[in-house]
Structure 1
Amino acid sequence: MYAMRTLGSVVGTLTLAVIVATQASGNESTTTAIDQPIMIEAESFTAQRNDDLRRWTVIPNNESSSKIPENDQRKQAAEGASNGAYIRLLPDTRVTHADKLIRGENFSPEAGKMAVISYPVEIPKAGRYYVWVRAFSTGSEDNGIHVGIDGEWPEHGQRMQWCEGKNTWRWQCAQRTEKQHCGVPMEIYLDIDAPGKKTIEFSMREDGFTMDQFLLTTDKNYRPE
Structure 2
Amino acid sequence: MQRERRQTSARRRTSQRCRTCRSNNGKRICPALSGILICPECCRAKRAKIPGCDAKCRYYAPLVVSSRIRRKSSSDFPIHRCLISRSKDTGMLIVVGTRKRPDGNLKAMFLLLDMWKKGIRDCFFDANLSEKEFERVSQRIAKSYNLSEPVELQDPDEPEEVVRIPKDTLVIEADNAIHLDRGVNIIDHEEASRGKAVEGVRSARATHEIYIPKTGRWYLWARVFFERGKDSYWIGLDDAVPHPWDREGGPGAIKIWSEPNDTTKWGRWLWDTAPSDTEGNKPGNRPAFFHIKRTGYYRVWSKARESGSRLDQVLLTRARDFNVQTETEGKPLPLKYSPHLYEPASVNECRKLIRHATQIATVVETEIPWEFKYWIQDMWGDITKFPETEGSLYKCPKCAADLPQQAVDLIIQHAQSDDIQFYILCRKCGGEFD
TM-score interval, normalised by the smaller of the two chains: 0.5 to 0.7
Q: What does residue 200 of structure 2 align with?
A: 89
CA contact (8 A) 1:160 1:188 kept: no
Q: Map of 1:112-127 to 2, 5 A cutoff?
A: 114-127=203-216
Q: 1:174 to 1:150 in 2, by over 3 A?
A: closer
- SS at 1:141 equivalent: coil
- SS at 1:134 equivalent: strand
Q: 1:219 to 1:196 in 2, by over 3 A?
A: same
String of CA shifts for 1:92-121, please: whole Å, max 9, x gaps: xxxxxxxxxxxxxx5xxxxxxx31221110
Q: Map of 1:179-194 to 2, 5 A cutoff?
A: 179-180=279-280, 183-185=282-284, 186-194=286-294
Q: Map of 1:38-187 to 2, 5 A cutoff?
A: 38-49=170-181, 51=182, 55-60=183-188, 78-90=189-201, 106=202, 114-142=203-231, 144-150=232-238, 154=242, 156=244, 157-163=253-259, 164=262, 165-175=265-275, 179-180=279-280, 183-185=282-284, 186-187=286-287
Whichever residue aligns with residue 162 of structure 1, its letter is S
Q: What does residue 223 of structure 1 align with?
A: 323
Alpha-carbon distance in 2 for matches of 1:58, 1:149: 21
CA contact (8 A) 1:134 1:169 kept: yes
CA contact (8 A) 2:243 2:290 kept: no
- SS at 2:312 equivalent: strand
Q: What does residue 298 of structure 2 align with?
A: 198
- SS at 2:194 equivalent: helix
TM (norm. structure 1) is 0.58
Alpha-carbon distance in 1 for matches of 2:171, 2:305: 22
Alpha-carbon distance in 1 for matches of 2:235, 2:255: 8
Kindly report the root-mean-square deviation, in angstroms, between the aligned alpha carbons of the 2 structures.
2.9
Q: CA deviation at 1:79?
A: 2.9
Give the structure with higher Rg (CA): 2
Q: Hey, which of these two has a bigger chunk of strand by percent? A: 1
Q: 1:153 to 1:162 in 2, by over 3 A?
A: farther
TM (norm. structure 2) is 0.32
Unaligned runs of 5+ residues in structure 1 are 1-6, 14-33, 61-77, 91-105, 107-113
Q: 1:86 to 1:128 in 2, by over 3 A?
A: same
Q: 1:36 to 1:179 in 2, by over 3 A?
A: closer
Whichever residue aligns with residue 159 of structure 1, its letter is K
Q: 1:206 to 1:188 in 2, by over 3 A?
A: farther
Q: 1:204 to 1:152 in 2, by over 3 A?
A: farther
Q: Hey, which of these two has a bigger chunk of helix by percent? A: 2
- SS at 2:236 equivalent: strand
CA contact (8 A) 1:145 1:203 kept: yes
Whichever residue aligns with residue 170 of structure 1, its letter is L
CA contact (8 A) 1:136 1:169 kept: yes
Alpha-carbon distance in 2 for matches of 1:120, 1:200: 6
Q: 1:203 to 1:176 in 2, by over 3 A?
A: farther
Whichever residue aligns with residue 148 of structure 1, its letter is G
- SS at 2:266 equivalent: coil
CA contact (8 A) 2:241 2:292 kept: no
CA contact (8 A) 2:222 2:313 kept: yes
Name the count of aligned residue pairs: 151
Indicate the percent of aligned positions where both proteins have the same amino acid.
23
Q: CA deviation at 1:184?
A: 3.9
Runs of 4+ in 1 over 6 A off after TM superposition: none
String of CA shifts for 1:36-82, please: whole Å, max 9, x gaps: 42111111111134x4xxx221012xxxxxxxxxxxxxxxxx23111
CA contact (8 A) 1:160 1:183 kept: no
CA contact (8 A) 2:227 2:267 kept: yes
